[in-house]
Amino acid sequence: MKADDLVILLTPYVATYGYILVFLGVFLENSAMLGLVVPGETILIIAAFYAAQGELNIVYIMIVAFVGAVMGDNVGYYIGRRGGHPFIKKYGKYFLIHEKRLIATERYFEKHGGKTIFIARFTSFLRALAALTAGVCRMEYRLFFWYDLSGAIIWSVVISLLGYFLGDNWPVLSKIIDRIGLGILIAVIAVIAVGVLIRRRFKVEKDV
């Protein structure tokens, strides 16, 4: 189904059920891989567009989206934390996920888990998997929570405002959202790269 067809299909329901549908869409999108099938971000954009028409309140939409995103991610994290690790250890080989790969992923989350959770908020595919993966890798919850919280705040405000001002021009808006996610990803990768170079240089100077 094309993006435009999806928008046409969802629009009447968002207009009718408003905040409830925004919460459910965003919540489910962020819960345990359901983001692969639930278009929460699209629902949020449509709702924000209706707010621009005076039928919904944009501030309420931002709040509902933020709460739904955080709650959804916490559910995904909890599922991964409680059942994901034992499941992968027992059945992972059937999904081509071996012990070495799991250990490598855990090490990655130890070093870059916070940044990954933040970046994932702005990328649809990663958004569906990040919280669950963080739980499976047993990422420290306090670290997960604060990065998730900060990402959810920025995401809910930015996407809501984009829908509010550009919701009637879906093709342009879709490109902008993709570029926002890509821009954040590039920026974070650049910061990590600079940090690694500085650390290596400092280590070399220290050894000398």
Cα separation, 162 vs 47, whole angstroms: 11
Per-residue pLDDT tens digits for 70-100: 999 999 898 888 877 676 666 555 445 566 6
Give the per-residue pLDDT at 146: 93
Q: What is the DSSP letter of 84?
A: I
Q: Looking up tokens 């490598």, which residue turns up?
A: 104
Q: What is the mean pLDDT of each run of 10 residues along the chain (208 residues)?
A: 58 77 89 70 84 88 95 89 71 57 78 85 80 86 92 90 76 61 52 60 56
Element (H or E) spanning 16, and its range? helix 3-29
What is this structure's pTM?
0.75
Give the per-residue pLDDT at 73: 92
Nearest CA to 119 out of 73, 152, 160 is that of 152
Reported in sequence order, the residue ranges of the chain that DSSP labels E, i.e. its strands, are: none
**Segments making up each domain of the chain, as ranges:** 3-207
Cα separation, 135 vs 164, whole angstroms: 34
Q: Looking up tokens 């070093």, which residue turns up?
A: 111
Give the per-residue pLDDT at 49: 83
